[in-house]
Structure formats: C-alpha cells, structure tokens
C-alpha cells in the first residue's frame, strides 16, 4: 500500500457510523473535514477527546468543517461508549463515529502502526480540504491527547492560505500578522493587501490578517 502524503486525494470509502452509513467524499460535500482515529472504545484519553470535539461543534461549524471519528470497535460498542462520553464529559456527542471492525479505513489511512500495536489504531488526525486533498496529518502516541485548539489554529491558517495567498508564521494565532506568499510581487501585493504590509526582507513581508 502506498503511503498517504500531504496533497494526496484523501481515500474515499463507505462505512457504518453511529449516525448511519456514509460515503466519505459525498458526506464531506464541498466543505472541510477532519477524520481522526482512536485506539479503542472505553479508553480514558479518547473519552476526553470525543467530549472536547462535541463541545467545539460551534467552532467547527463556523469554519465549515465536518468532523468524523473512527475506532476499530463495532457499532454497538460505539453506542454504549457514547453514553459514557456524554455522562463523564457533560456533553452530547454530535458527530459520527465510524465502526471500522475490518480495519478497512484504518489501513487506507495507515492508522495502524505495527511497531506501536498491531491491533489498535494510533491517534491519527487528517484535515481534508474542499478539493478532497489531505492538508494536514498528525500522529500522536496513544498516551497523548490531541490539542484541539491547535487543530482549529491550523484550519484557520489553511483557510487563510486558500483564500488570500498568505502563510502564517511560527506560533501564529488568529488576529496576528500573516506572511505574504513569496510568489506574489510587491506590485501585486500593493493591490491585493489594501491594509499595507511591512517588508522586512524581499521574501519576508508581513500584513494584517486580511479577513478581519
């Protein structure tokens, strides 16, 4: 199996979920998507992650992002686990969880790393753009919960790049200055960025975040 890389088309698949069957590309529609995997149901770190995801529904919707989770456990296990998540995290799971008992999706996305564990998916996350291409991949060890503020930050950065031809510097947070893409000439930058920009080096030009 070929390794999935940034810029590749995210593999399409059909799957059963806690919200009914989905065909992945069709389900994504024309928006952005996050697909993230969990080592197993009824595990402590995953329980906190899914609760956090549910609480961030409004933030994902603002960014036109659909979220879907995956575990290799069956649907009835997922449905029982959701009750625990809702109870312990004081929320209501409001997104689908894929039942990937045959590990078909996990293998498509290389979510099982035999050196870590032959049976369980690692803690992978994929951000997928409206063009169905993979924009980000992060793989965490099973013991480390994901930083969802970082995922929102990356989505904000990716959407700025897609819409305004800018990049974001180290530790950038929404509201801070962004970097004008080097491919844009100063002449075009004058027209494209009416708020102006600071030219620190020919390749390093900072401008206020253009969508604010």
Task: List pLDDT tens digits, range 63-94.
Answer: 999 999 999 899 999 999 999 999 999 999 99
Clarify whether residues 103 and 176 are in a common domain: no
pLDDT at 121: 62
Rounded to an integer, the average pLDDT of 4-21 is: 96
Clarify whether residues 110 and 193 are in a common domain: no
Q: Is the pLDDT of residue 119 over 80?
A: no
Clarify whether residues 34 and 89 are in a common domain: yes
**DSSP letter assigned to residue 143:** T
Q: Is 48 helix (H, G, I), strand (E, B) or coil?
A: helix
pLDDT at 148: 95
Last residue of some domain: 144, 174, 197? 144
Clarify whether residues 97 and 192 are in a common domain: no
Q: What CA–CA distance (Å, rounded) separates 111 from 149?
A: 22
Clarify whether residues 107 and 61 are in a common domain: yes
* Between 141 and 203, residue with greater pLDDT: 203
Structurally, how many domains does the chain consist of?
2
Reported confidence tier of residue 122, pLDDT bands at 50, 70, 90: low
Q: Residue 73 is encoded by which pair of tokens? A: 């456990």
Catalytic residue among 10, 34, 35, 46: 46
Q: What are 135-177's pLDDT values in tens digits?
A: 999 988 888 999 999 999 999 999 999 999 999 999 999 999 9
Contact, 166 vs 180, CB < 8 A? yes
Note whether residue 7 is domain-resident: no
Note whether residue 106 is domain-resident: yes
pLDDT at 38: 87
pLDDT at 114: 58
Burial class (CB in 10 A: 0-12, 13-18, 19+), 83: exposed
pLDDT at 141: 83
The CATH number covering residue 41 comes to 3.40.30.10
Burial letters 191-203, b for 16+ CB under 10 A, else e: ebbeeebeeeeee
Query: For residue 134, what are the domain limits?
Result: 14-144
Clarify whether residues 199 and 120 are in a common domain: no
- Of all residues in the chain, the percent with pLDDT exceeding 70 is 94
Reported confidence tier of residue 112, pLDDT bands at 50, 70, 90: confident
Note whether residue 3 is domain-resident: no
User: Is 46 marked active-site?
Assistant: yes
Q: Is the pLDDT of residue 178 over 90?
A: yes
Average pLDDT, the chain: 93
Note whether residue 117 is domain-resident: yes
Neighbours of 148 (CB within 10 A): 19
The CATH number covering residue 175 comes to 3.30.1020.10
Note whether residue 59 is domain-resident: yes
């Amino acid at each position: 199996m070929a390794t999935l890389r940034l810029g590749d088309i995210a593999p399409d698949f059909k799957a059963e979920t806690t919200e009914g069957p989905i065909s992945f590309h069709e389900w994504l529609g024309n928006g952005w998507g996050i697909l993230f995997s969990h080592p197993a149901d009824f595990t402590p770190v995953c329980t906190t992650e899914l609760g956090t995801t549910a609480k961030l529904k409004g933030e994902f919707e603002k960014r036109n992002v659909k979220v879907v989770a995956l575990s290799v456990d069956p649907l009835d296990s997922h449905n029982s686990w959701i009750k625990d998540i809702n109870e312990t995290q004081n929320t209501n799971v409001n997104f689908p969880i894929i039942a990937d008992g045959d590990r078909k999706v996990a293998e498509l996305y290389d979510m099982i790393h035999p050196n870590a564990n032959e049976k369980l998916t690692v803690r992978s996350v994929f951000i997928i753009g409206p063009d169905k291409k993979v924009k980000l991949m992060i793989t965490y060890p099973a013991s480390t919960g994901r930083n969802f503020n970082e995922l929102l930050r990356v989505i904000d950065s990716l959407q700025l790049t897609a819409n305004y031809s800018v990049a974001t510097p180290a530790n950038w947070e929404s509201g801070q200055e962004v970097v004008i893409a080097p491919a844009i000439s100063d002449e075009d930058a004058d027209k494209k960025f009416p708020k102006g920009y600071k030219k620190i080096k020919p390749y390093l030009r900072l401008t206020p975040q253009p969508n604010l």
